[in-house]
Amino acid sequence: MPEPSLQPLPEKPDHPALEREMLARWEAEGTFEKLRERNRGGPTFSFMDGPITANNPAGVHHGHGRTLKDVFQRYKAARGHELRYQNGFDSQGLHVEVEVERSLGLNSKREIERYGLAAFARKCRERVAHYSAVMTRQSKRLGMWMDWGNDYFTFSDTNIEYIWRFLQEVHRRGWLYKGHAAAQWCPRCGTSLSKHEQAGEENYAWLEHPSLFVRFPLRGRDGESLVVWTTTPWTLPANVAAAVRPDAEYGRNDAGEWVAVARYPEEHFDRRVRGQELVGLEYEGPFDHLPAQRGIVHRVLPWADVSLEEGTGIVHIAPGCGAEDFELSRLHGLPVLMPIDEAGVLLPDYGELAGLTTEEAVVPVVTSLRERGRLVEATSVSHRYPICWRCSTPLVFRVVDDWFISADEIRQPLLDGNATVEWTPPQYKKRMDDWLRNMGDWNISRRRYFGLPLPFYECACGHLTVIGSRAELEERAVSGLEQLEELHRPWIDAVRIRCERCGGEVERIPEVGDAWLDAGIVHFSTLGWRNPTWIPGGYATGASRGLSGADLPDHAYWERWFPADWVSEMREQIRLWFYSQCFMAITLAGRQPYRRVLTYEKVYDEQGREMHKSWGNAIELDDALERMGADVMRWLYCSQPPSQPLRFGYGLAEEVKRRFLTFWHSARFLVEYANVAGFRPAWRELEPRDLSAPLDRWLVERTHALVRTAEAAYEAYDTVGVTRAFEAYVDDLSNWYIRRSRRRFWSDDEAALRTLWYALVQALRVVAPIQPFVADHLWRTLVVDGPESVHLAGWPEAREPNRALLAEIDEVRRVVELGRQARSTAGIKLRQPLRRLVVEGARLDGHLDEVADELRVKEVELGQVEAVEVRVKPNLPVLGPRLGKDLPAVRAALAAGEFEQLEGGRFRAAGLELAPDEVLVERSGREGWAIASGDGVTVALDLGLDDELRLEGEAYELIHRVNSLRRERGLQLTDRIVLTVPEAQRRLVERHGAWIAREVLATEVRLGPALDLERS
Ligand SMILES: [Zn+2]
Ligand SMILES: [Zn+2]
């Protein structure tokens, strides 16, 4: 036997082990560097990575996004594009702070300040340094090729300075303002939160809150009162007004209580008036005895938006505790009482309630109302309530001064920009439009510590300076520069500048910026926008020094790489990163920062439930990598549509592994037979030249079709298209080409070996972006004299395939499939030969023998199938979406047998025409026949058996058993045997002995007591 030319493959791959080995080889051989070298100077493909929060280990949902990014970067690299491969880490802001607080056991802003801002800033950096290293390791393990070590970190001074520049520009345009407004406030984090941070569905929870009906006695109308409803008792001490709907009808009940009639249709009212008539009445407030309420006159106000869907139709107004209340206070000149401080604790002038949290105040408020006869009813209600996106604390409203960027002028340019973007899936484009149309002004200030320091210097004289760079700060500074370690608190706070209007010294405002400013600027900060000279290592400044070696390129580089050809993040980023980067790019450059987007939904468990640690169904990324392997995970991520929640779990992973084995076995089959035949594939003759066998011709065409289909799918950012094309190809390769060619492989047919080798090699190049490890492993097994890695082999060239030939074989395969179905319905094994098959609705030119052979029938005829009964069912996945509400009628008609058969396998039912692929057809045949049909083709199998057929069936059965036995005994493919057949099968041996001997490589067939074999 010749020396094996190809390395033998095991029965199945050990994915994690194989992947670790591949990682080591890529590292040792510098595969990624070679790829970058190969593509240097090629056409650019500009991908901008949205920064990942380096805060915790990556989860399987991060694995999803990172896989998609890697898949398309690998594909574009295979096509010869030059890429940047810069990874980004989001490294400052509330999410980092909250985690550090937790790890240090701090739970309030006071505790952070006591701990010390400098030490706190260092701890934040330390956490980012640690987890960016962890995420780098995890991402590499997942197979993500990035320019690791040259990452951008949003907390670099360079990044911060670029945001300063943006803010200065925003100020120059007059868009920057300080707003006194009611904001959603997290009492634990001690900061307001912006609408875009809080907009996601996950930022709401069903919470149980008190439900109070409270009496407000009317002044000068003895025994009469208004009744209001509230779920936030702590806001009652800040009440200043009650609102009614002017056009609604209000009634006074027997107890003298006024409520909206629409809310109490059963109630008896002795007086009814329009709301308008109640406007202007004065009432006694619920907590007039508190110092905070001194001098407040409570009146009834008109408000058209009073709801008649809940409560009493009379609304308690506390302008310091709600957004709409605050708006009304502006309209009517109401006093604004702010009952709570930053931590959600009632202030000193709230008497007996002072020092209590909003929750602690519930019982004293209820008790006080009850004792004073003001409580009508106290129960509780469960409702959907906003919680902090970072720490899940229920939010409150506070009226505070925040910094905003006005969205008015930029709204239309943002919409125009979005109109130029290609979204995948396309329906998300509209979601972006909706967000842009409805977004409010951008609240950019946070009362926190380790974040972008807003460069706003508000002088006592009223003049506002916005600093645009560190150089400008240095020029304007009067003190504090010497200790400025980096552009973070507390160091930046110590730098004072001189006011250019009055000459006074000015401090920076204490607020830091929204983290989406940090991420939005990276199209400028990492690409060297308006930077005159290239600075090696120049991006990695401030806190990112020592963590990254990223350069600050020059402006020409920005020109080359901006805008991004493609970005990809989760759908929630529409209101976050997708939005902030557009806002900043359109402001600074007047251009959309990206051309295409791929966005996707969340990762769920196998049952389609959200993953939660507390539910016990969360999967750690590291566990998945070690138990499933990265290739299997990547397949799971890529084979499901991005517009639906992605299902992820170990059961699904087993399914992926099982399906992948078909391809693995095809490769293993080639390796075995190539080694037996001493076949040596040659890379320079990739496409086989000897195509005298029709099946070889077909496989070459089929391979071109695979490349074409996959290419179109990759170009459309459609991973599902690629995985489907690959799986269909593997089925054709294994269950048609190899099945039909087995004999040629047994006889060392070089053309077959060469064709199969070509097909496998091309398929590996197609699938390599999605399964980079196993594809490269098999590549290195099969390709001995070509590129050393599949990732250096480039994208396969493909011409337009011969579609007619492909359609012809598709038809043959369909007939064979139906034939198998008919056999299995009748319960007759494929090993039992049958007499006859009749085929209706297919041409099968020149393929009758193939069909006969595949289905083990003596003859195949084309003709009419006489069916006794036809049953038609709707093919729901196809028909459902098309028919929609018409489906039930069609379904009922089909079930009742009320349908008409039309030409070409079509049907008509309930007045609608149904295509062949929209129905499932069962035909029961005449006695002794099995029938199957689909897609307009019907086959009928003659089930009649005679002695000759039975004996042949026995022979096939024996061959099968002997071949199993050969494998069990560990015989090589080429080993010859002496076969012993039981005496009882003498007739079989007499009739078919020579044939059996040929099939099982027996040099001799003997009769004996039992079936046995030995090596001859
Ligand atoms: Zn919070
Ligand atoms: Zn001044």
Q: Which residues pair with 205 in a beta bridge?
A: 385
CA of 458 to the centre of ligand 2 (A): 8
Nearest CA to 232 out of 364, 356, 321 is that of: 321
What's the token pair of residue 382? 């469960």
Residue pair 297/289 in contact (Cβ under 8 Å)? The answer is no
Q: What's this model's pTM, rounded to 2 decimal places?
A: 0.86
User: Which ligand places an atom closest to the C-alpha of 501?
Assistant: 2
Residue 820, H or E segment: helix 803-826
Q: Are strands 1002-1008 and 505-506 parallel, antiparallel or unpaired?
A: unpaired
State the angle between helix axes of 803-826 and 694-715 in degrees (0 to 180), rounded to the nearest 10.
Answer: 100
Cα–chain center distance at 233? 41
CA distance 771 to 142: 10
CA of 117 to the centre of ligand 1 (A): 19
Degrees (nearest 5) of the Cα angle 907, 911, 916?
20
Residue 501: closest CA among 526, 482, 476 = 476
Q: Residue 1: its pLDDT value, please?
A: 45
Read off the pLDDT of residues 251-271 as tens digits, 9 standing for 90 and up.
999 999 999 999 999 999 999
Q: Is 251 exposed, middle or buried, given 0-12, 13-18 or 19+ CB atoms closer than 10 A?
A: buried
- When mean pLDDT is compared across 56-60, 572-576, 725-729, 866-870, the lowest value belongs to 866-870
From residue 836, how far is each of 4, 743, 846, 923, 943 by CA, in Å?
A: 44, 24, 17, 17, 8
* Residue 832: CA count within 13 A, CB half-sphere: 16
Q: Which residue is it, tokens 């009492």?
A: 187
Q: Higher confidence at residue 888 or residue 511?
A: 511
Q: Do the beta carbons of residue 512 and residue 451 sit within 8 Å? A: yes
- pLDDT tens readout for residues 58-105: 999 999 999 999 999 999 999 999 999 999 999 999 999 999 999 999
3-state helix, strand, coil in the chain (%, to 5): 45, 20, 35
CA of 467 to the centre of ligand 2 (A): 15
pLDDT tens, residue by residue, 219-250: 999 999 999 999 999 999 999 999 999 999 99
> Taking a C-beta distance cutoff of 8 angstroms, is the pair 953, 831 a contact?
yes
Give CA–CA dist 252/259, Å, rounded: 7
The Cα–Cα gap between 950 and 961 comes to 17
Task: Tell me the ligand closest to 388's alpha carbon.
Answer: 1
Q: Is the pLDDT reported for residue 182 higher than 90?
A: no
Cis peptide before 563 (omega within 30 of 0): yes
Which of the ligands is closest to the CA of residue 94? Answer: 1
Choose among 331, 336, 329, 276: nearest CA to 302: 276
Q: Tokens 């041996």 belong to which residue?
A: 989
Q: How far is the CA of 805 from the centre of ligand 2 (A)?
A: 83
Would you place residue 928 in the very low, low, confident or very high pLDDT band (cuts 50, 70, 90)?
confident
Q: Which ligand is nearest to the CA of 499?
A: 2
Interval 802-828 mean pLDDT: 93
Asked if 325 contacts 318 with a C-beta cutoff of 8 angstroms, the reply is yes
Q: Which residue has the tokens 């992948």?
A: 660
Structure token pair of residue 520: 């939005």
Find the farthest-apart pair of alpha carbons in the chain and give their distance in angstroms, rounded: 121
Using alpha carbons, list the distances in angstroms from residue 159 to 163, 554, 696, 783: 6, 15, 58, 46
Residue pLDDT, tens place only, 335-387: 999 999 999 999 999 999 999 999 999 999 999 999 999 999 999 999 999 99
Q: What is the pLDDT of residue 868?
A: 66
CA of 100 relative to ligand 1 center, distance in Å? 13
pLDDT for res 880? 82
Q: Is the pLDDT of residue 4 over 70?
A: no
Q: How confident is the model at residue 157 (pLDDT cuts 50, 70, 90)?
A: very high
Any bridge partners for residue 1008, and if so which?
982
CB atoms within 10 A of CB 638: 24
Helix (H, G, I), strand (E, B) or coil at 980: strand
Residue 279 Cα to ligand 1 midpoint, Å, equals 39
The rounded Å distance from CA 872 to ligand 1 centre is: 59
Type and span of the H or E element at 38:
helix 31-39
Burial of residue 268, with CB atoms counted within 10 A of its CB: 0-12 exposed, 13-18 middle, 19 or more buried: exposed
Q: Which ligand is nearest to the CA of 185?
A: 1
CA distance 540 to 150: 9
CA geometry: angle 625, 140, 202, nearest 5 deg: 65
Residue 959: is its pLDDT beyond 80? Answer: yes
How many whole angstroms separate alpha carbon 853 and alpha carbon 461? 96
pLDDT at 2 over 70: no
First to last CA, the chain: 17
Q: Pick the range with the lowest mean pLDDT from 321-330, 418-427, 923-932.
A: 923-932
Residue 884 pLDDT greater than 90, yes or no:
no
Coil, strand or helix at 150: coil
Q: Quote the ligand 1 centre to 721 CA distance (angstroms).
A: 42
Q: Under DSSP, is residue 304 helix (H, G, I), strand (E, B) or coil?
A: coil
Ligand nearest to the CA of 461: 2
Which residue, 88, 51, 356, is CA-closest to 234?
356
Of the candidate ranges 118-122, 970-974, 997-1001, the one whose mean pLDDT is the lowest? 970-974
What gap in Å lies between CA 825 and CA 937, rounded to an integer?
17
Ligand 2 centroid from CA 512, angstroms:
22
Minimum mean pLDDT among 169-178, 530-539, 962-971: which range?
A: 962-971
- Cβ–Cβ < 8 Å for 328, 243: yes
Q: Ligand 2 centre from 509 Cα, in Å?
A: 14
Task: Please tell me the predicted confidence (pLDDT) of residue 920.
Answer: 86
Residue 616 has pLDDT above 90, yes or no: no
- Confidence band for 19, pLDDT divided at 50, 70 and 90: very high
Judged against a pLDDT cut of 80, whether residue 792 lies above it is answered with yes
Q: What is the per-residue pLDDT for 578?
A: 97
Nearest CA to 90 out of 124, 50, 61 is that of: 50
Mean pLDDT to the nearest integer, 694-709? 97
464: CA distance to ligand 2 center in Å? 8
Q: Which residues surround ligand 1, an ion (CB under 5 A)?
A: 186, 188-189, 388, 390-391, 393
- pLDDT for 850 beyond 50: yes
Q: What type of residue sits at position 930? A: A
**Residue closest to 638 by CA, chosen among 595, 597, 600, 594:** 600
Q: What distance in angstroms lies between residue 393's CA and the mean position of ligand 1's atoms?
A: 6
The strand pairing partners of 283, in sequence order, are 218, 298
pLDDT in tens, 440-489: 899 999 999 999 999 999 999 999 999 999 999 999 999 999 999 999 99
How many helices and strands (H and E) does the chain possess?
Answer: 31, 41
Is the pLDDT at 826 greater than 80? The verdict is yes
Q: What is the mean pLDDT of the chain?
A: 94
Ligand 2 centroid vs 507 CA: distance in angstroms?
11
Q: How remote is the CA of residue 506 from the centroid of ligand 2, in Å? A: 8
